[in-house]
Structure 1
Amino acid sequence: MSRDTLTSGPSLKPAGALGAVEQRGIEPVPVSERTGNPLQLFWVWFAANISVLGLPLGVALVAMGLSIWQAIFVAAVGSFGSFALVGLVSIAGRRGGAPSLTLSRATFGVRGNFGPTAMTLCSRLGWETVNTATAALAFVTICSLIFNTSTGAKDVPMLTVLGVALFVACTVAVSGLGHSFILTVQKWSTWIFGAINLVVLVFLAANVNWAAVAQAPSGDVASVLTGIGMIAAGTGIGWANSGADMARYQSPAAKAGALVVSASAGAGIPLVLIISMGSLLGASNSAVLGSSNPLDTIRDTLPPAVAVIYLVVSFAGLLLSNHLSVYSAGLTTITLGVRIKRVYAVIVDVVVTTTASLCFLLIADGFYGPFITFISLLSVPIIAWVGIFLVDMLGRKSYNSEGLLDLTPGSGYWYRNGIEWRALGSWLAAITAGALFMKVQPGDTPWYTGPLHETWIGQNGLTWVVAGLLGAVAYAILGGARKESAQ
């Protein structure tokens, strides 16, 4: 029986060695090496979500017409709720000891899994592009404070390129090493950068125009629902199909509930704080809503020395998110079929995102429109996959390690010509249904408007709910996980 040649061999150094370059690809982690605990994942998700990207999400909530209290409520429901999905997917990682999309072969078939894997890779590369572009904007803004240069990326292209290069180099240095190093970096970064963020947030709060915030009108129920959907799509849903990537090292004794709480609370706490602050800044200063650089507000609101400190922290916070994303993207690239070791897959991924981020910074206009459009588009296929994968988990308590790596007709997950049509068909149907309610508008002119966009569902931004529920229900009706697949 041939095995998937896209995986690398066993670790050349002990799994827990801090300086070891992780040699494992997508092959399941041996039970003897699964010694992790949920608290480790809490630090991972907390550090990954200290990111300054929460600020523009908060600004977008105010732009939708929500009051500050509504924005805080929306941030809490959207963040904690969506990362609970990440925690649920993590349970599969504990069971199978493999990355999310490798385990997904059991659900969709070794060939049928290509579509969800390709979409996941697009999501990871997209988020890495957003992270890299935002970090470069932070670097440009720091230079504007120190050297009195422009804050526009297009005005200072050399500084923009330098910011991207610096961020990418730092990303590769951490994500290339792998699991053990990431765990250590995320834990200590949570304490260090979390504390600095709290201090700077106090400065920001002291400079908020509270009178303007108090006068901001409240939005209706429809706006609140739309806001929850936007936050969910921009936070946990974007990470949901990577939930098992870090949890594959979790001990079999780890409780399922603890895994859910570690992801939900670990990400939810910092996200609510930063998104709420973004909402405060947006409500107190209308100029923020039209800014091409979301970090201009930091520059203009804080004293120069404090602004520089916060922008440096912002750069580091984006790095904490990005190296985790790049790590997952490397595993997804291998699962997709690229014959390369994980450490080299990381390099390939960052080359793509470096190019994309430079195009975004030096060619595209604006920030908020493309950013919101991006997260809204990708949320539909991702949540459809989540719905199907979670239903599959209900009937599958274990995974056949050999079957996950065997791409031949002898695989336990070959099904019919390598495709589990019940799962793949449900996924495609869910995406198609979601597209009917969708509107794609990164700027002033819509690119696409679905025929059902004007309905209550479409107007309230609930496309992702339709996709997730339809995918899950369709797959459940068709029978869910095949018992003979779990060995």
Structure 2
Amino acid sequence: MSGVVEQRSIDVVPADERHGTPLSQFTLWFGANMQVTAVVDGALAVVFGADALWAIIGLLLGNIFGGIVMALHSAQGPRLGLPQMISSRAQFGVYGAVVPLVLVVVMYLGFAATGTVLAGQAINKILHVGPTAVGIVVFGLLTAVVATLGYRWIHLLGRVATVCGVLGFTYLGIRLLVTSDVGALFGAKPFDWVSFLLAISLGAGWQLTFGPYVADYSRYLPADTPERHTFLATFLGSVIGSQWSMTLGALVAAGGAGFLANQVGYLGSLAGPIAILIYLVIVIGKLAVNCLNAYGGSMTLLTTVTAFNRSTRIGPAARAAYTIGFLLVSVLIALLASKDFLDNFKNFVLVLLMVFTPWSAINLTDYYLISRERVDIPALYNPAGRYGTWNMTALVSYFVGIAAQILFLAQKLYTGPVTNLLGGADISWLIGLLVTTALYLPWSRQTANPPE
């Protein structure tokens, strides 16, 4: 069984266990982005008021910018051989890294719960059963199996999701061309800067959410894997996959077909005679990304706990327990919550996006510009080591970066005053990156203690 279930967790992957090529990063992230929630994200750009053409262009720009940040995190994996959030201890301190970790867990728990609802609807349609709980529980069990088996199986699922996604979404695109006048959807609205910036933010925000766990899935690559190869494979897989899905969403929303009211049902109707196969594609795509959420969520939980018990390695049984515990909570939320609660919880989760951009800015600035890719790995597990317990330079920069975004937020729960002056455009993610970097970079040059 040890050859089937992944044995590693938060510990360094040794050289003799390294394997694979950067192509695995392309298929993993392409498959994880060919899914119904990415379609919804693209549709929202049109719902917010953008013309279909400008929505697609804005989404592309956002995906490219956010994809660069996300892929820079991925390139750390082969070099360090560590899960992404363990490396945060080099910037925040062994205890200080827990601060962003807790918020990251809440974020991925929210994504897992809401994604489970959508996948559950598709499973219900495949099985021809009525109670929503059936599909939710089945999907939770499927996620638990793959996420518990670990790294190799998650990558295998990514390859399957890539093939299914290409076939399924190509078919849906053809059906859309046949059943509607797609050309008439372009130019139906005048260009508007506010909605265009919102589309950019939707694309960028989508990519940035992968940052806290993207290196979890590149850490088994051989240490001598060129960073540019890991970067490009991750970047292209994530950006092409997400843009493909979001473009379909923008076109569907521009047609006014009521997609947002019943996402799974609409795609089944668009598929016509092979609706059941499209439902299967939806389940596989959501399973790919939900396994990332569950596996990454469990790694984040383990990173939090081991900061205080000083463990340097967690066995597969403990990792499985944390993964299943994470999934149980997400399934319970999906089962017990009312639809209104889920909508509100999803919006709360989206507001939490502002905790990712300052973390990314600090992590990337330190790794590439301050430490210059030099990390004292044993010290990451020792509060008395080089990185200490609480790094105030990173923590203060982090909270300033969060606070700076509040004035620029444009979410359902809260809209900042500067956002109103901008006509509703949300550029908070960009403000978070710029302000955090501007504060952290010069300050950390004076206070950092990188390895020689």
What TM-score results when the alignment is normalised by the length of structure 2? 0.91
The corresponding residue for 1:333 is 301
1:349-372 deviations in Å (ceiling 9; x for gaps): 101111122244x342785x764x
1:389 lines up with 2:363 in the alignment: yes
Q: List alignment gaps of at least 5 residues for structure 2.
A: none
Instruction: Give the AA of the match of 2:61.
Output: V
The corresponding residue for 1:308 is 276
Q: Aligned partners of 2:258 and 2:357: how far apart in 1? A: 34
Instruction: Give the AA of the match of 2:332.
Output: T
1:244-273 deviations in Å (ceiling 9; x for gaps): 111211222222222221111101212222
The corresponding residue for 1:294 is 263
Instruction: Give the AA of the match of 2:370.
Output: G
Task: Please state how far the C-alpha of 1:122 moved relative to its aligned partner.
Answer: 1.4
- Conservation of the 8 A alpha-carbon contact between 2:361 and 2:436: yes
1:465 lines up with 2:436 in the alignment: no
Distance 1:171 1:383, change over 3 A: same
The corresponding residue for 1:427 is 398
Task: Please state how far the C-alpha of 1:178 moved relative to its aligned partner.
Answer: 0.8
Q: Aligned partners of 1:222 and 1:313: how far apart in 2? A: 34
The corresponding residue for 1:452 is 418
Greater per-residue helix proportion: 2
Instruction: Give the AA of the match of 1:316.
Output: I
Q: Which of 218-227 and 134-143 deviates more?
A: 134-143
- The aligned runs of 1:249-398 (5 Å cut-off) are 249-289=220-260, 291=261, 293-303=262-272, 305-337=273-305, 341-360=318-337, 362-364=338-340, 371=346, 373-374=347-348, 376-393=350-367, 394-396=369-371, 397-398=373-374
- The aligned runs of 1:109-188 (5 Å cut-off) are 109-142=93-126, 159-188=131-160
1:370-406 deviations in Å (ceiling 9; x for gaps): 64x3464122110110011111012222222211122
Q: List alignment gaps of at least 5 residues for structure 1.
A: 1-11, 148-155, 442-446
Distance 1:481 1:219, change over 3 A: farther
Instruction: Give the AA of the match of 2:185.
Output: V
Q: Aligned partners of 2:113 and 2:170: how far apart in 1? A: 27
Over 6 Å off, 4+ runs: none
Q: Aligned partners of 1:406 and 1:467: how far apart in 2? A: 30
Task: Please state how far the C-alpha of 1:87 moved relative to its aligned partner.
Answer: 1.1
1:19-46 deviations in Å (ceiling 9; x for gaps): x211222011123323332111111111
Q: Secondary structure of 1:242's partner? A: helix
Instruction: Give the AA of the match of 2:397.
Output: S
Q: Aligned partners of 1:73 and 1:450: how far apart in 2? A: 26
Task: Please state how far the C-alpha of 1:337 moved relative to its aligned partner.
Answer: 0.9
The corresponding residue for 1:153 is none
Instruction: Give the AA of the match of 2:190.
Output: S
Q: Aligned partners of 1:484 and 1:249: how far apart in 2? A: 27
**Count of aligned positions:** 441
The corresponding residue for 1:203 is 175
Instruction: Give the AA of the match of 1:358.
Output: L
1:194-235 deviations in Å (ceiling 9; x for gaps): 2233223322332234375246213312221111102221x2
- Conservation of the 8 A alpha-carbon contact between 1:175 and 1:324: yes
Task: Please state how far the C-alpha of 1:466 moved relative to its aligned partner.
Answer: 0.8
Q: Aligned partners of 1:204 and 1:283: how far apart in 2? A: 12
Q: Aligned partners of 2:123 and 2:217: how far apart in 1? A: 29
Q: Aligned partners of 2:332 and 2:342: how far apart in 1? A: 18
- Conservation of the 8 A alpha-carbon contact between 2:89 and 2:97: yes
Q: Aligned partners of 1:264 and 1:71: how far apart in 2? A: 21
Task: Please state how far the C-alpha of 1:276 moved relative to its aligned partner.
Answer: 1.0
Q: Aligned partners of 1:88 and 1:333: how far apart in 2? A: 23
- The aligned runs of 1:21-36 (5 Å cut-off) are 21-36=5-20
- Conservation of the 8 A alpha-carbon contact between 2:18 and 2:221: yes
Q: Aligned partners of 1:379 and 1:31: how far apart in 2? A: 35
- Conservation of the 8 A alpha-carbon contact between 2:43 and 2:249: yes
The corresponding residue for 2:210 is 239
Distance 1:84 1:335, change over 3 A: same
Q: Secondary structure of 2:210's partner? A: helix
Q: Which of 391-400 and 312-321 deviates more?
A: 391-400
Task: Please state how far the C-alpha of 1:428 moved relative to its aligned partner.
Answer: 0.6
Equivalent of residue 378 in structure 2, options 402, 423, 440: 402
1:35-83 deviations in Å (ceiling 9; x for gaps): 3321111111111111111221122111122222112212222223312
Q: Aligned partners of 1:93 and 1:245: how far apart in 2? A: 7
After superposition, the CA RMSD in angstroms is 2.4
1:282-312 deviations in Å (ceiling 9; x for gaps): 11125335x1x32232244332x32221112
Q: Aligned partners of 1:310 and 1:301: how far apart in 2? A: 9
- Identical aligned residues as a percent: 25
Task: Please state how far the C-alpha of 1:238 moved relative to its aligned partner.
Answer: 0.9
Q: Secondary structure of 1:413's partner? A: coil
Q: Aligned partners of 1:96 and 1:375: how far apart in 2? A: 30
- Conservation of the 8 A alpha-carbon contact between 1:395 and 1:482: no
Q: Aligned partners of 2:157 and 2:183: how far apart in 1? A: 40
Q: Secondary structure of 1:484's partner? A: coil
- Conservation of the 8 A alpha-carbon contact between 1:209 and 1:285: no
- Conservation of the 8 A alpha-carbon contact between 1:117 and 1:336: yes
1:411 lines up with 2:385 in the alignment: yes
Task: Please state how far the C-alpha of 1:139 moved relative to its aligned partner.
Answer: 3.0
Distance 1:220 1:448, change over 3 A: closer
Distance 1:194 1:349, change over 3 A: same
Task: Please state how far the C-alpha of 1:192 moved relative to its aligned partner.
Answer: 3.6
Q: Aligned partners of 2:244 and 2:151: how far apart in 1? A: 27
Instruction: Give the AA of the match of 2:108.
Output: R
- Conservation of the 8 A alpha-carbon contact between 1:135 and 1:164: yes
